[in-house]
Amino acid sequence: MQQEDDLRGLARVMDFMRAISILFVSINIYWFCYPIIQKWGINIGVVDKILLNFQRSTGLFSNILYTKLFSVVFLALSCLGTKGVKNEKITWSKIYVFLSIGYILFFLNWWIWDVVLSSENRTILYILTMTVGYLSLLIAGLWISRLLKNNLLDDIFNTENESFVQETRLIENEYSVNLPTRFYYKKKWNDGWINIVNPFRASMILGTPGSGKSYAVVNNYIKQQIEKGFAVYIYDYKFPDLSEIAYNHLIKHLDGYKVNPKFYIINFDNPRESHRCNPINPAFMTDISDAYEASYTIMLNLNRSWITKQGDFFVESPIILLASIIWFLKIYQGGKYCTFPHAIEFLNKKYADTFTILTSYPELENYLSPFMDAWESNAQDQLQGQLASAKIPLSRMISPALFWVMTGDDFSLDINNPEEPKILVVGNNPDRQNIYSCALGLYNSRIVKLINKKHQLKSSVIIDELPTIYFRGLDNLIATARSNKVAVCLGFQDFSQLRRDYGDKESRVIENTVGNIFSGQVVGETAKTLSERFGKVLQKRQSMTINRNDKSTSISTQMDSLIPPSKISNLTQGMFVGAVSDNFNERIEQKIFHCEIVVDNEKVKQEAANYKKLPPITNFQDEDENDRMQETIQANYIRIKEDIQQIVLDELKRIKKDPKLKHLIKEKEC
């Protein structure tokens, strides 16, 4: 009832203002057409006196436009409160037409006084143009009022409701990564910052190909963490994209380190541009479980389907066999031959010789019991199946170039050693992904164990295109490495890709333990999962009912998604949504963001144009400057085969001479 009374009161006020507007039009006509109006017999003495007094005191009629302006002002005010039913045929183009007609006829009809007509005709024409012009302005005003009040399509994507205030402060510390942003809020674009003040709680960057995750986020992680003195490990799937950025940025920012770090590269494609490193260096293996971890990583990278079949007999058997060989090489002559290529060559020897040698070591007897049981019970089919599941995948790894890189010791994998900090990049090749991922996964697993220790230099592990490689122990690294100052940054396309290659259980642990998340355009279940993670806020909803004679509007509030899945599925390149973590002493109230990450494209292009190429590392030329790379690599490959052949011969002789081990030879001969 009260609302109806208020509406009636507002309507009376609007009618009063419109009446004043019409009054000013009438006064304008009466004053400036006074001689002809008198001739028509219209003469109101009281009105004449009032108008003359107004003129003397205010000069209201000194210019023909004054009364017209007052009339239009009151007309506009009266239209603001107009209650009208929306007509879908009302368009802005029609409104502009009526506004133009009204403006010309109402304000620009002074030209009538210069027309060669009789005074009476001029007056009639002036009154007619004023009337038509005023009515045109009135119609345009009413339509504008209805369109502004009743247009339901002004914000069809609910942009205003779903925009929110974001962090505008720059919060820096000795570990932080800070990204400048632009975000939309209250109908304008604002400058802001994404502050990753605690990168040790891990970061995850998602986005479909081309969404800008590497260009806008990963590259910034590499640059800023090198500037702040981190030891960095980078998995470069599309080598040398990230490697060149890291190399050139390190050259310019060596002052960020107390001890100058060394830059190392692992590149199986081109041995000239690769250092050599033994990922199963015996110095860093203290227990047979280390050999098992190495074997586990190798086999699961070669057979991704095994990730979901862990514990199966024909999955565990080849892992145990390879672990036994690695540990045998570790304890044989002080680990002189403990390399991955030597392990592959030893595995491919006759299984009778292999089992005889391995079982001669007490610490390996229990490990090999599944194979020995099959051998002693003449279960040849089972034994051949167990051996084949190890030999066939590993045979793909036999490559002289790969063997060359993995048998040297140019550096150790403890990249965050305070006395010898390192920047290590390992390059993959999409065309040889299945082969290289196995070896690189072995480097990864060893690095995880070596860097996750106390009293080491702050370090960063940056893995772009994570699903292309199986990173053994990644979930544990994220969960436990925070206190050891290890920052993990993972880039991949969406959660379904991660679940396919890492299995459901492990991928969910990774998803749920990461503290900082960035997402470009993603679709489907990933978009829904992220939307749920960002939560809901109170949003205003308006519903409108329009019938033939009236309209009714109702406004309500309800909890709805802060960033709905549809918004995440349609993000523009360079636009990201996400959330960050904070610290006890560095609180970030608004952790969620939906913004464009600002990148100075011209600066990036200029930097890239001045980048130095990665330097050649190994010189294969002899004294006569002849290129002997293939000969050197092939000679290394042959030496490995000869080493294993000699080990087998020496070990069999040792077993034959040892009375306690002679029974192994007899059993084999039987």
Q: Which domains does the chain have, with CATH numbers?
A: 2-150 (no CATH), 158-274+456-612 (3.40.50), 638-669 (no CATH)
Residue 449 has a pLDDT of 82
Q: What pLDDT score does 206 carry?
A: 94
Q: How many CA atoms lie within 13 A of 232 on its CB side?
A: 33
Asked whether the beta carbons of 187 and 160 are under 8 A apart, the reply is yes
Rounded Cα–Cα distance for residues 214 and 230 (Å)? 19
Model confidence at 670, pLDDT cuts 50, 70, 90, reads very low
Could you say which DSSP state residue 40 is in? T
pLDDT of 548-565, one tens digit each?
555 566 666 777 788 899
What is the pLDDT at residue 293? 83
Residue 98 neighbours by CB distance under 10 Å = 19
Q: Are 664 and 359 in contact (CB under 8 A)?
A: yes
Q: How confident is the model at residue 285 (pLDDT cuts 50, 70, 90)?
A: confident
Whose tokens are 């037409």? That residue is 97
Three-state secondary structure call for residue 661 = coil
User: Can you tell me which residue has the tokens 């070596």?
Assistant: 450
Structure tokens at 465: 């295109």
pLDDT category, 103, cuts 50, 70, 90?
A: confident
Q: Give me the pLDDT at residue 306, please.
A: 66
Q: Is a pLDDT exceeding 50 seen at residue 666? A: no
Beta strands in 197-259 (DSSP E): 203-206, 231-236
Per-residue confidence (pLDDT) for residue 537, from 0 to 100: 78
Model pLDDT, residue 200? 94
Q: Give tens-digit pLDDT for 296-310.
A: 888 877 776 666 666
pLDDT tens track for 529-552 = 999 989 887 777 666 666 555 556
Q: Could you tell me what percent of the chain has a pLDDT over 70? A: 83
* 123 in Cβ contact with 33 (< 8 Å): yes
Q: Is the pLDDT of residue 121 over 90?
A: no
Q: What is the pTM of this model?
A: 0.74
Residue 668: CB atoms within 10 A of its CB come to: 17
Q: Calculate the average pLDDT of the chain.
A: 82
Lowest-pLDDT choice from 1-15, 460-474, 502-516: 1-15
Which residue, among 481, 565, 563, 469, has the nearest Cα to 515 in the 3D structure? 481
CB atoms within 10 A of CB 262: 15
Gap between the Cα atoms of 64 and 33, Å rounded: 11
Q: How confident is the model at residue 470 (pLDDT cuts 50, 70, 90)?
A: confident
